[in-house]
Amino acid sequence: MLIKDVMHSPVLTVDVGVTLEAAYHIMLQRNIRHIPVTQEGRLVGMITDRDIRLATSPFAVGGAKPTDTPVGQVMAQPVITGDPLDPVEEAARVMRQRKIGALPILEGEALVGIVTGIDLLDALLRLTGVEKPSGRLEVCLDDRPGELARLSGELAQQHINIHSLLTYPCGEGTVTTVVRVGTLDTRRIARELRQKGFVVQWPPEIPSKRL
Amino acid sequence: MSVPVIYSPQYQLYNFGPQHPFSPLRLEMLLDLLEHLGHPLQFVEPAQATREEVRSVHLESFVRRVEAAGRGEYSPDFDHYGLGTADTPIFPGMDEAARWLVGGTLTAARMVSSGAAREVLQLGGGLHHAQKDLASGFCVYNDLSVAIRHLTEQGLRVAYIDIDVHHGDGVQWIHYDEPHVLTFSIHESGRYLYPGTGHTHEIGKALGTGRKLNIPLEPFTEDDSYLEVLQMGLEPALHWFRPDVLVVQCGADAHFQDPLAEILLTTQAYAKIFPLLRQYAAAFAGGRAVYTLGGGYSLDATSRIWALLYLTLQGLPLPDHLPEPWLRRWGTQLGHFLTHTLFDPEGAYPEIPRKAEIERRNRQVTERMLESVRPYWS
């Protein structure tokens, strides 16, 4: 999944000369928290609702700025940006490391989109596959080539569609694999996987269950 | 006065094959059990639902695919409509078979809406996963939603109650924005279990907001906790919503023997749940209710639970031991012993070490659900 698949486009921007009050009203009306700031069409900064509230607050260092101050005086710069062809995890990493809530996306000099934390949460939901009716299997695999193929081959043989598959390291030399599968009968699948030697963490085996 | 029962031998046509859990054997065992208990089934034959009736909730494109699949035709987009999957394999005549089940639930709803009956038991249906353009989780057409649509078109307010162990997602999504349909589903949490939905934050949208309720239970929930939160969540909702009729999906797969899920109800719990729902129908909906079947994949537990449902609705006494000839016949056929009593023996499953935590979490999740819908109950 790439940034271009999750970003918002076109992007709402304000000019450096727009007042803090006007920018804040735009945020309230559109229910957004971040606006890229442009000068003669080029991206020069970012302004957030928090920047505005801090700048106009009596707590502001050096005193509250008047509400008709141009955003150019308050905006953050230089701007951290992303590329439409970056993977979403790259955007997540930059936003996490720099503690920022939105990333304007540039193609060359042109501002083509914006990605926010909310967009990344949507991306996470899509990656986990929960948007389709499905059951969830958790299988612990050895961290070596061919293990995933063995698992997916087994599911394919049983004509089970995989809606999504995530893996993450879970210990010395093993990975936990979370598979969302298009079946109601995950217990039967788990039983057959166990018979083939897989370590299935969920659903668990229960001795009292019988047909 | 006895409660009319809708049934048709054609229900047995809804058959995905001998290896599939949604087996017509469940009905056969149930009817045989009732007969052995001295209550041979007296039933009303339903009208098969027409194509137009199915279309009241399903999209034309989807119905066409189901018809084509049932005629043995092939289309590369069947998968996209949930047809020909491991759960909902294609079988000859699947459109007609599914329309018999829809017809049964619709006939039951018509009897209630016309005043011909107050309570009706539909011995079939309950296909709550089917969505408007998707066959899913053993369900081709959504009989419940077709019946609910009929009832709301008659100007009635419908409270749909789903006790199947899986979330009633199809019914919920089909009526998600409708103000005159309350949906209430109590099920094992979708964290792991199919279909993965039914969280407390799914509360409806637009005019339906606050009218879609979900209680996702912890795996390994037992009788007491289940009954506690069922009452805690459902009673205030019905009290506020004032339905004209209840539509109840009586899936039997929350039983501890069920092979597809992890909730641990005993038949003792069902012997409390069914009278409770009847009591709610009397207190909040003028006694009007349609009961359907649903999931239930342990043949042993399912036939006992649905026999319990039947006996409860007819006001018949509950037997202790089950008839020997029935036990012998089906035990031999299935190749394992069946439980000899209607009620499960004590200590039938191992003690659950997390019991107290499970109870606390279920209570908390129910409170959270009520907190999120109550602001819309004005």
pLDDT tens readout for residues B61-99: 999 999 999 999 999 999 999 999 999 999 999 999 999
CA distance to partner chain B, nearest, from residue A59 (Å): 36
Position A208 scores a pLDDT of 60
Position B226 scores a pLDDT of 98
Q: Which of A131, A166, A184 has the highest number of chain B CBs within 10 A, making it the mutation to test binding with B?
A: A184
Neighbours of B371 (CB within 10 A): 10
φ, ψ dihedrals at B59, nearest 5° = -80, 145
Active site residue B255: no
Residues in chain A within 8 Å Cβ distance of B134: 133
Average pLDDT over residues B29-47: 97
List pLDDT tens digits, range A3-16.
999 999 999 999 99
- For residue A210, pLDDT over 60 is answered with no
Q: Is A63 left (phi over 0), alpha (psi -120 to 50) or beta?
A: left
Candidate from B87, B297, B298 with C-beta closest to A183: B87
Position B1 scores a pLDDT of 61
Candidate from B87, B191, B298 with C-beta closest to A211: B298
Neighbours of A24 (CB within 10 A): 19
CA distance to partner chain A, nearest, from residue B330 (Å): 13
Rounded distance, CA B164 to CA A51, Å?
51
Average pLDDT over residues B265-284: 98
- For residue A198, pLDDT over 60 is answered with yes
List pLDDT tens digits, range A66-95.
999 999 999 999 999 999 999 999 999 999
- Residues of B in CB contact (< 8 Å) with A are 21, 79, 85-87, 129, 131, 134, 136-138, 166, 169, 191-197, 256-262, 297-300, 334, 336, 348-350
Neighbours of B242 (CB within 10 A): 12
Position B213 scores a pLDDT of 98
Q: Count interface pairs A-B at CB distance under 8 A.
A: 89
Instruction: Average the pLDDT over each of A129-138, A144-153, B12-21, B263-272 and give the range with the smallest value.
Output: A129-138
Amino acid at A166: L
Amino acid at B19: Q
Please tell me whether the interface predicted TM-score (ipTM) of this complex is above 0.85: no
The b-or-e profile of A165-188 (16+ CB within 10 A means b, else e) is bebeeeeeeebbbbbbbbbbbbbb
CA distance to partner chain B, nearest, from residue A208 (Å): 6
- For residue A155, pLDDT over 90 is answered with yes
- B375: helix, strand or coil: helix
Position A211 scores a pLDDT of 42
Could B257 and A188 be called an inter-chain contact, meaning their C-beta atoms sit closer than 8 Å?
no
- Residues of A in CB contact (< 8 Å) with B are 130, 132-136, 138, 158-161, 180, 182-188, 202-204, 206-211
Residues in chain A within 8 Å Cβ distance of B256: 208-209
Q: Nearest-CA neighbor of B210 among B177, B254, B245, B255? A: B177
Q: Nearest-CA neighbor of B184 among B197, B196, B167? A: B167
Q: pLDDT-derived band of residue A207, with 50, 70 and 90 as boundaries? A: low
Position B360 scores a pLDDT of 97
Amino acid at B369: M
- For residue A209, pLDDT over 80 is answered with no
Number of separate helices (H) and strands (E) present in chain B: 11, 7
Closest Cα in chain A to B300: A211
Q: Which of B29, B81, B197, B260 has the highest number of chain A CBs within 10 A, making it the mutation to test binding with A?
A: B260
Q: pLDDT-derived band of residue A130, with 50, 70 and 90 as boundaries? A: confident
Candidate from A158, A186, A206 with C-beta closest to B194: A186
Rounded distance, CA B348 to CA A163, Å?
36
Closest Cα in chain B to A187: B260
pTM: 0.86
Share of residues in chain B with pLDDT > 70 (%): 100
List pLDDT tens digits, range B187-199.
999 988 999 999 9
- What average pLDDT is seen over chain B? 97
- For residue B242, pLDDT over 50 is answered with yes
Position B45 scores a pLDDT of 97
Asked whether A49 and A73 are in contact (CB, 8 A), the reply is no
Rg of chain B over all Cα atoms, to the nearest angstrom:
19
Could A210 and B257 be called an inter-chain contact, meaning their C-beta atoms sit closer than 8 Å?
yes
Neighbours of B370 (CB within 10 A): 17
| DSSP per-residue string spanning B328-353 | HHHHHHHTS---SBSSPPTT-S---T
